[in-house]
């Protein structure tokens, strides 16, 4: 096709931005190529692995199957947006480090953004519920247990509750 471009305005990690975007681009393409947010990974690119997951208006979406032009007017948050202004890790990131929930790290940004959506509901989920909420991510390294613990620990900590693993 002859190239078709569109000006897309949105908020990325709290900052109002705009860019001319190829209408054929996925949101992953836009975030990586135009905004250099390389925490957004290209895994399967068909919505199955969650490596490209970001928050759009607070909800988790696989950005590989989301058109970049749909970002118009929306607020997008990626892992880069979790760092404090001084560059310190957020509680959930630190929990991933503490629990050794990371090996190669390819699935980590996606997992953490889903964890952010979960934690922001301020609910205390059962293990079964938590497993279901995390089921949209594939990890080929860790075996999931430490990831599960990192999210569960952070959920309990935020609620001021002691954990009973």
| Chain centre to alpha carbon of residue 39 | 9
Cβ-based nearer residue to ligand FES, 133 or 158: 133
Contact between 48 and ligand FAD per CB under 6 A: yes
Select from 4, 94, 100, 120 the one that contacts other proteins (CB under 8 A): 4
Judged by CB under 8 A, which stretch of 86-94, 101-109, 127-135, 150-158 contacts other proteins? 127-135
Contact between 158 and ligand FES per CB under 6 A: no
Give me the least distance between CB of 162 and ligand FES, in Å please. Answer: 28
- Structure tokens that stand for 109 in this block: 């940004």
Contact between 107 and other proteins per CB under 8 A: no
Contact between 22 and ligand FAD per CB under 6 A: no
Interface residues toward ligand FES, by CB under 6 A: 42-45, 47-52, 62, 64, 102-107, 139-142
């Amino acid at each position: 096709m002859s190239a078709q471009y569109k000006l897309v305005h949105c908020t990325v990690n709290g900052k109002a931005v705009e860019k001319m975007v190829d209408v054929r681009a996925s949101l992953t393409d836009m975030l990586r190529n135009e905004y250099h947010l390389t925490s957004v990974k290209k895994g399967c690119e068909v919505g199955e692995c969650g490596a490209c997951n970001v928050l759009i208006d607070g909800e988790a979406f696989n950005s590989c199957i989301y058109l970049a032009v749909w970002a118009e007017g929306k607020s997008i948050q990626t892992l880069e947006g979790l760092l404090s202004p001084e560059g310190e890790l957020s509680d959930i990131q630190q929990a991933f480090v503490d629990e050794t929930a990371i090996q190669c790290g390819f699935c980590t940004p996606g997992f953490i953004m889903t964890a952010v959506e979960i934690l922001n509901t301020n609910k205390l989920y059962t293990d079964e519920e938590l497993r279901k909420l995390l089921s949209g991510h594939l990890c080929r390294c860790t075996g999931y247990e430490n990831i599960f613990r990192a999210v569960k620990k952070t959920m309990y900590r935020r609620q001021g509750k002691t954990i009973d693993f």
